[in-house]
């Protein structure tokens, strides 16, 4: 697994607060310019997948709606951890192991380009090999 290190000093490295335990999780967040949409988190861990191919059904429909979401969701793969990339689930808190409520509306979230990759989590793509993010200081 490739490892990408992001220094804490970067603008796009910050803390994601868990809405359950209020714990802070270091994470990297892609800029809006990166077009990392749509992306989906694993149902079990904090891994995340972003596939350029998933833009096609969105553009074909000309909008995001429940049908487009269902169409993409049906093709989402399993994560190496045994979970599955699933709409509507956020990353997993490193303190309490609960899912952080990052996604209010799974349909609208299809358009969110700001992909959060937690420290230690892996990002999967259909265009490049997977990589693990490490926040370093």
Q: Could you give the CA distance from residue 68 to residue 55 in angstroms, rounded to a whole number?
A: 10
Contact 16, 117 (CB under 8 A): no
Per CB under 5 A, the list member of 16, 27, 36, 42 interacting with Zn ion is 42
Backbone angles phi, psi at 39, to 5 degrees: -135, 155
Q: In this chain, which stretch among 4-12, 39-47, 108-116, 126-134 interacts with Zn ion, using CB under 5 A? A: 39-47
Enumerate residues 78-137 that contact Zn ion by CB under 5 A.
79, 81, 83, 93, 95-96
87 close to 106: Cβ distance less than 8 angstroms: yes
Window of 62-70, 77-85, 109-117, 126-134 that interacts with Zn ion by CB under 5 A? 77-85
Q: Which is closer to Zn ion, CB of 44 or CB of 134?
A: 44
37 versus 40: smaller Cβ distance to Zn ion? 40
Of 13, 18, 36, 121, the one binding Zn ion (CB under 5 A) is 18
**Residue 84: CB minimum distance to Zn ion, A:** 8
Q: How far is the CB of 125 from Zn ion (least distance, A)?
A: 15
Q: Does residue 107 contact residue 7 with C-beta atoms inside 8 Å?
A: no
1 CB-contact burial (10 Å; exposed 0-12 / middle 13-18 / buried 19+): exposed
Helix (H) or strand (E) holding 48: strand 48-50
Contact residues for Zn ion, defined by CB under 5 A: 18, 20-21, 23, 42, 44-45, 47, 79, 81, 83, 93, 95-96
């Amino acid at each position: 697994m490739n490892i990408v290190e992001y220094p804490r000093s970067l603008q796009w490295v910050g803390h994601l607060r868990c809405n359950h335990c209020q714990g802070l999780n270091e994470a990297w967040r892609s800029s809006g310019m990166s077009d990392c949409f749509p992306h989906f988190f694993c149902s079990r861990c904090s891994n995340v997948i972003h596939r350029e191919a998933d833009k096609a059904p969105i553009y074909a429909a000309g909008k995001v709606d429940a049908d487009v979401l269902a169409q993409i969701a049906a093709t989402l793969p399993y994560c190496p951890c045994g979970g599955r990339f699933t709409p509507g689930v956020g990353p997993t808190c490193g303190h309490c192991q609960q899912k952080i409520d990052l996604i209010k509306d799974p349909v609208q979230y299809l358009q969110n380009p700001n992909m959060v990759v937690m420290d230690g989590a892996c990002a999967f793509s259909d265009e490049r090999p997977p990589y693990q993010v490490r926040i370093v200081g």
